[in-house]
């Protein structure tokens, strides 16, 4: 009698994740930005534990801010695209390692200040009212399962 496989990783399809790219019109500190966002919304964004990226030579710390929408029961998370702190683990003895003390989660989008993630399969970022004079419209961006940021978001979810 054959045993049927109930779960096969090769056959499992990973869903793409939609995130929002948030670009600020002017440079403001995190606390000022979220104070303004919290005033305009029923949401109350709070700082939570940093997202930590472990590189070969540095550990990078990315601030995260989280809030729950009461009616939709959705969790929204803003993740800073640029690390706020880096701690050197070991001395670089090689040239051109490609690792510096500043890191971006989306290297191709260094003009993005925050990455907006939702706990929903098909997120609706329009429920968050952002200050019009401070933020450009949120741009939807799809992450495939093979991308490093996708893996990081899944780990922290």
- Give per-residue pLDDT as tens, 71-109: 878 899 999 999 999 999 888 777 766 778 899 999 899
Is the whole model's pTM more than 0.85, yes or no?
no
Cβ neighbours of 133 (radius 10 Å): 8
**Residues 6 or more apart whose Cβ sits within 8 Å of residue 131:** 36, 37, 40
- Residues 103/53, Cβ–Cβ less than 8 Å: yes
Task: Kindly state the tokens that stand for 27.
Answer: 């440079």
- Residues 53/82, Cβ–Cβ less than 8 Å: no
Residues in the chain with pLDDT values less than 70: 1-14, 96-97, 157
Q: Kindly report the CA angle at 148 between 145 and 150, in degrees rounded to 5?
A: 45
């Amino acid at each position: 009698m054959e045993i049927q496989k109930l779960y096969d990783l090769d056959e499992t399809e990973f869903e793409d994740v939609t995130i929002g790219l948030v670009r600020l019109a002017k440079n403001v500190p995190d606390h000022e930005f979220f104070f303004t966002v919290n005033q305009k919304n029923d949401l109350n964004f709070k700082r939570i534990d940093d997202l930590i990226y472990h590189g070969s030579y540095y550990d990078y710390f990315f601030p995260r801010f989280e809030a729950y929408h009461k009616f939709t029961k959705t969790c929204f998370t803003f993740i800073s695209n640029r690390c706020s702190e880096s701690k050197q683990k070991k001395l670089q003895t090689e040239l051109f390692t490609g690792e510096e003390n500043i890191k971006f989660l989306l290297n191709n989008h260094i003009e993005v200040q925050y990455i907006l993630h939702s706990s929903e399969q098909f997120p609706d970022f329009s429920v968050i009212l952002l200050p019009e004079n401070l933020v450009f419209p949120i741009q939807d961006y799809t992450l495939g399962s093979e991308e490093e940021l996708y893996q990081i978001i899944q780990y922290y979810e």
